[in-house]
Chains A and B, each alone.
Chain A
Amino acid sequence: QKEVEQNSGPLSVPEGAIASLNCTYSDRVSQSFFWYRQYSGKSPELIMSIYSNGDKEDGRFTAQLNKASQYVSLLIRDSQPSDSATYLCAGGMDSSYKLIFGSGTRLLVRP
């Protein structure tokens, strides 16, 4: 099992819909999780951090962390074509400042 796993997609949703991106993680990954957005040819941009069990909302984005089930998700409400990108899930490792990245999920928002 990979330490951080994501479905590669593409996940295709119509404009205005809710996009749901999911990520599972192994025991080696600690309790800090991050979502990065990466446009084609660009570098990853941090969009959400979540440290505690439950939901965290920021504008159209909601991150959800469920430690018991070892998954973290990102919901994007009112999806826009400009949200089309690859979304990387990352988790911190205990006793290290390294992040473990998933391979990313490609999101396509259809106009």
Chain B
Amino acid sequence: DVKVTQSSRYLVKRTGEKVFLECVQDMDHENMFWYRQDPGLGLRLIYFSYDVKMKEKGDIPEGYSVSREKKERFSLILESASTNQTSMYLCASSSRWGRGAYEQYFGPGTRLTVT
């Protein structure tokens, strides 16, 4: 079974803090993704990575950065947290090969509150 884990289920941070969200997958997947999900706005892609040290901006990268130093780990960084970044953050991974290349598997999510 694919397993994607995220470092925290719930997180409360103050405005201006630097926030790190960690994601680890154990299926040797090449692709990893960070989304945020807000009521009425659905899932929105922030960044994705298709290989170690490789990244590509998604639909809403402003205010975020990412790091992928190892294949199994993908980090999302909020350089200076703001209240409008309060959201559910979801990490996902997928293989690059074969028919299953698009199948994304999600972690449990981190509900971040910025006060």
Question: Interface size for chain A: under 10, 10 to 19, 20 to 34, or 35 or more residues?
Answer: 20 to 34
A97 touches B96 (CB 8 A): yes
- The number of A-B residue pairs with CB atoms under 8 Å apart is 48
A43 touches B90 (CB 8 A): yes
Residues of the A chain whose Cβ atoms lie less than 8 Å from the Cβ of B50:
97
Interface hit among B13-21, B41-49, B79-87: B41-49
- As a 0/1 sequence over residues 6 to 29 of chain B, the CB contacts with chain A under 8 angstroms (1 = contact) are 000000000000000000000000
Asked if A34 and B103 sit within 8 Å, CB to CB, the answer is yes
Is A46 an interface residue when CB atoms closer than 8 A count as contact?
Answer: yes
**0/1 per residue, B90-108, Cβ < 8 Å to A?**
1000101001111111111
Is chain A's binding surface mostly helix, strand, loop or mixed?
strand
* Pairwise interchain contact B42-A102, C-beta atoms closer than 8 A: yes
- Cβ-defined partner of A97 (8 Å) among B42, B94, B106, B108: B94
| Structural contact, A97 and B90, CB atoms closer than 8 A | no
Do B107 and A101 touch (CB < 8 A)? no
- The residues of B that contact A32 with a CB separation of less than 8 Å are 99, 101-102
How many chain B residues sit at the interface, stated as a range, is 20 to 34
The reply on A44 being an interface residue by CB < 8 A is: yes
**Given the contacts A97-B31, A101-B43, A103-B42, A42 and B108 also touching, CB distance less than 8 Å:** yes
Q: Which of A43, A45, A49 is close to B100, meaning CB atoms less than 8 Å apart?
A: A49
Query: What's the Cα separation between A34 and B102 when bound, in Å?
Result: 9
Q: Which of B101, B103, B108 has the most CB of A within 10 A?
A: B103
Give the contacting residue for B106; candidates A44, A98, A104; CB below 8 A: A44
Say whether A76 faces chain B, with CB atoms less than 8 Å apart.
no
Contact present for B108 and A43 (CB under 8 Å): yes
Question: Can you identify 15 A-B contacts, CB atoms within 8 angstroms?
Answer: A32-B102, A42-B109, A43-B106, A43-B108, A43-B109, A44-B90, A46-B105, A46-B106, A51-B99, A92-B102, A97-B48, A97-B50, A97-B94, A99-B104, A102-B42
Q: Give B residues with C-beta under 8 Å from A.
A: 31, 33, 42-43, 45, 48, 50, 58, 90, 94, 96, 99-109
